[in-house]
Homo-oligomer: A and B are copies of this chain.
Amino acid sequence: FVSGWFAKPMPVQYEKPSPSYLHEFLDEMHAENIREHLRKFTRLPHLAGTLQNLRLAEQIQKEWLAFGLDSAELVWYDVLLSYPNGTKPNYISIVDQHGEEFFKSLLAEPVPEGYEDLTDIVPPYSAFSAQGKPEGDLVYVNYGRTEDFFKLDREMGINCTGKIVIARYGKIFRGNKVKNAMLAGAKGIVLYSDPADYSAVGVEPYPAGWNLPGGGAQRGNVLNLNGAGDPLTPGYPAKEYTYRFSPEEGLGLPKIPVHPIGYNDAARLLNKVRMTIHTYNQVTRIYNVIGKIRGAQEPDRYVILGGHRDAWVFGGIDPISGAAVVHEIAQASGKLMQRGWRPRRTLIFASWDAEEFGLLGSTEWAEDNAKILQDRAVAYINADSAIEGMYTLRVDCTPSLQTLVYDVTKQVGSPEVGEEGMSLYDSWHKRDNWTDNRDAPRINKLGSGSDFEAYFIRLGIASARARYTKNRKDTYSNYPVYHSVYETYEIVEHFYDPTFQRLLAVARVRGGLIFHLADAPILPLNCLEYAHALIQYAHGILKIAQKHPEAMQRYTVSFDALFSAVNNFTNAANDFHQRLKKVDTTDLLAVRMVNDQLMYLERAFIDPLGLPDRPFYRHIIFAPSSHNKYAGESFPGIYDALFDIESAVDPARAWDEVKRQISIAAFTVNAASNTLNPVA
C-alpha cells in the first residue's frame, strides 16, 4: 500500500497576489535602512526586564505607528526572569588545601572598544541557575549529550554522582546538557566555549575577526521548559490575576548551579573546583510590541511575523539583525498602504520580549491568545537573527510552506558578489541541495530554540524561519561570538554583511512569505509537500525500529497502520489539489472553504493530550528532540519510545509503548487526511 513514493509533490499553481504590488513591496526594502535600524537598536544593551528594553519597545511601537500600521500596542506579562547578583559575582575557582581560592574565573568579558563606558552589560551567566557553592572533583563530559553520559557510564565506568561536571558548548541546547548532568547526579555544571567549536579556521578573534576571544563566554538560559513558557504559569498567560506556582514548583528550573566560562579560564581548571553562584530568579514585567495591519477582505485571518527584541547584551546578531529586518518589512508595508494597498488578510507584527529566558514573551502571548489564534492564524513566520554565516540561505519550515519558500526565493536576487542577476533560489540551490535525490535547495525541519515554538508545536500553526547561514561543512557551532558581548553592530558591518545585501535578501524572503500568505486569494500552502514529507518520516522511523528485528517480531510491532494512514493522506492531498484547481475563485464561500481546509491542516496534527510528559509539545509530526531542544524530531512520540530501547528494564512494556505511539501517529495522520476530504 506504500504507493506514496510515486506521488512526488507537483508544482502547484496558486493564484498569485498582484505581482506589481509584490515587487513594489520587495523594492521598498533597502539595505541602508536595515543598516540604520541595526545601528540604532544595538547602541545599548537591552536585556529582558530592564528599563532599556522597555524604552526600545516604546521606540519600536512609536515607529511602527509612524510607518502607518493600523495599531501598535505594548502587551506585558509578569514572568520569572533570572539575573546575576549585582554585588556578589558568580565565578569558578580553584581552591587550595586551606580553602583559599588561588584561581578565579573572569567576572566579566573584556568589553569591546567603543562600549567601555556602558555600565549595564550583564556578565556571562547561566540564567535560572540554582544558587550555591558546590566544591568537588571535576569530570569532563564532552558536549554533555545523552550519548556522552552513556559513554562515561557504560563504557568508561565513570560516575558523575556528587561531581562537578564540565561540558563544552555546542552540538545541543545547553539546557539539555544541564538536564543530563542533573540526571547523572552532578552537583554543578560548568559550561565553556572550546576553540574547536567556537573558532573558525583562519579567522582572528574579535575585533580583528569574528572569532570568539579567549575571554568571551556564552550567556544563555538553562531551562527545560518543554514549551511551557513562564515557569510559574504553565499553560496560562502570566497576567496580574494569574495563579503562580511557588518558585520551588517552577517548571523546568535546574536544581544545580550552572556557570559559563571562556576558554582561557577553562584551560586553567584543575581536578577540583568550587562554583560560586549568586544568580537569583525574580518575577519581572516584560513587554511585547504587537502591530497590526487590518485585512481588507478577511480581517479574521492572521499572518504573523514575529521575532524577539531582547538581547543578552547588544544583540548585534541575535536578535537585532532579525529585528532590523522586521522593522524594514513594517516600513515597506506602511509605504505600500500609503499607495492604497491593503492586504487581503490581517498582518500581525510582533516584537517579542524575553526570548532569551525561554521564549517567554512569544509563549505568553500565544497562551493569552490561543483561542483566537487557533481559529484564525494562517501562518507564523519567525524573525530571529537574520544572519549567522556568510554562505547561503537556510530555511526551516513546515512541509506545506516549502513550495512558497521556493517561489519567493525565485523572486529575490542573490546578495553574493559576482551573482548579480542570479536569483536567491539559484544561489542557494547551488550551495545546498537536498541530500536525497530531490533537485532543489535543502529545507530543514523546524526544531525549537526560537519564538515559533508555541505557534508551531503547541498550536499547530504553519511556520517557517529563514536566515543567512554558514556552510554546513564548517564544524564550529552557531557563530563564534554567539551570546557574548562581542555581538555588536560592528561585527555585522565589518564581517558578516558589509553591504547589508544579505540582510536585505533575508528581509525580502521573510517579507515575501508574509506578503503571499496575507494576500493570495488561495492560501499558498501545499499539502502535497506534507504528504511527501510524511512518507519520508514514516520510512525513517521504521528504519530505526528495524534495528531491532527480533524484538519487533517478538512483540508483534507493525508500522502498517502508519503507512496506511500516510497513504490515505497522500491520496487525500492529491484529490484535494485536483479539486483546488477547479475551485471557482469568484465564489467567496468556496474559496474560504478550501482555504480553511488548508489553514486547519497543520492544526490537525495537534493532539490535545500532548506528547508523553511534554503536555505543551502537542504536534504529532514534529517536536524538539528530547535530547536537543534545537533539533526537530519527526514522529517524536515513536522516536522517544524507541530511544535506547535495547536498555529497557521491561522490554515488553517498552515495546508496548512503541505500539501505542504508532497507533497515535497513525490516527493523527489519518484524521489529518480526513480534513482534506470533501467537507460533506
CA distance in complex: A234, B123 (Å): 50
Known: A243-B664, A371-B675, A375-B600. 19 other contacts (CB 8 A): A70-B680, A236-B664, A236-B667, A239-B667, A241-B561, A241-B564, A241-B666, A242-B667, A243-B656, A294-B680, A295-B680, A298-B589, A299-B680, A300-B593, A368-B671, A369-B671, A588-B588, A589-B589, A608-B618
Question: Do A674 and B292 touch across chains, with their CB atoms under 8 A apart?
Answer: no
In the complex, whether A679 has a CB less than 8 A from a CB of chain B is yes
Q: Is A250's CB within 8 Å of the partner chain B?
A: no
In Å, the complex CA distance between A672 and B370 comes to 10
A residues 544-599 touching B (CB-CB < 8 Å): 560-561, 564, 588-589, 592-593, 596-597
Residue A346 at the chain B interface, CB threshold 8 Å = yes
Bound-state Cα–Cα, A237 to B243, Å: 35
Q: Which A271-293 residues have C-beta < 8 A from chain B?
A: 292
Q: Which residues of A contact B (CB under 8 A)?
A: 70, 235-237, 239, 241-243, 292, 294-295, 297-300, 302, 346, 368-372, 375-376, 560-561, 564, 588-589, 592-593, 596-597, 600, 603-604, 608-609, 615, 618, 656, 659-660, 662-664, 666-667, 671-672, 674-675, 679-680
Which residues of B lie under 8 Å from residue A295 when comparing CB positions? Answer: 680
Contact of A680 among B241, B243, B300, B662 (CB under 8 A): B300
Min CB–CB distance A402 → chain B (angstroms): 23
Once A368-B671, A596-B375 are accepted as A-B contacts, the answer to whether A299 and B237 lie under 8 Å apart by CB is no
Is there contact, CB below 8 Å, between B371 and A672? yes
C-alpha spacing A297/B297, complex, angstroms: 19
> Which residues does chain B contribute within 8 Å of A371, judged by CB atoms?
600, 603-604, 671-672, 674-675
Tell me the smallest distance from the CB of A42 to a CB of chain B, in Å: 32
Q: Which residue of B lies closest to A246 (CB)?
A: B656
Given A680-B292, A680-B299, the answer on whether A372 and B236 have CB atoms closer than 8 Å is no
> Judging by beta carbons under 8 Å apart, are A372 and B667 in contact?
no
Q: Are A609's CB and B235's CB within 8 A? A: yes
Which residue in chain B gives the minimum CB-CB distance to A657?
Answer: B243
Instruction: Judge whether A346 and B659 touch: CB under 8 Å.
Output: no
What are 27 A-B interface contacts by the 8 Å CB criterion? A235-B609, A236-B663, A236-B664, A236-B667, A241-B667, A242-B663, A242-B667, A243-B656, A243-B660, A243-B662, A297-B589, A298-B589, A299-B680, A300-B596, A300-B597, A300-B680, A346-B679, A346-B680, A369-B671, A371-B604, A371-B671, A371-B674, A372-B675, A375-B596, A375-B603, A589-B592, A592-B592
Contact between B243 and A659 (Cβ–Cβ < 8 Å)? yes
> Is B369 a contact of A674 with CB atoms below 8 Å?
yes
Contact among B70, B239, B618, B674 for A372, CB-based, below 8 A: B674
Per CB-CB distance, the 8 closest pairs between chain A and chain B, nearest first, are: A241-B561, A243-B663, A300-B679, A243-B660, A299-B680, A346-B680, A294-B680, A371-B604
Say whether A370 contacts B243, CB under 8 Å: no
Question: Which B residues are in CB contact (< 8 Å) with A243?
Answer: 656, 659-660, 662-664
A85 to B597, CA, bound (A): 48
Is B609 a contact of A615 with CB atoms below 8 Å?
Answer: yes
Contacts of A597 in B (CB 8 A): 300
Nearest B residue to A460 via CB reads: B371
Q: For the complex, what is the distance from the CA of A475 to the CA of B371, rounded to whole Å?
A: 43
CA of A588 to CA of B586 in the docked complex: distance in angstroms? 12
State how many angstroms separate the Cβ of A595 from the closest Cβ of chain B.
Answer: 11
Contacts of A70 in B (CB 8 A): 680
A454 to B588, CA, bound (A): 33
In the bound complex, CA of A420 to CA of B235 (Å)? 56
Chain B, Cβ-Cβ closest to A678 = B299
A660 partner residues in chain B, CB cutoff 8 A: 243
Chain B residues with CB under 8 Å of A600's CB are 371, 375
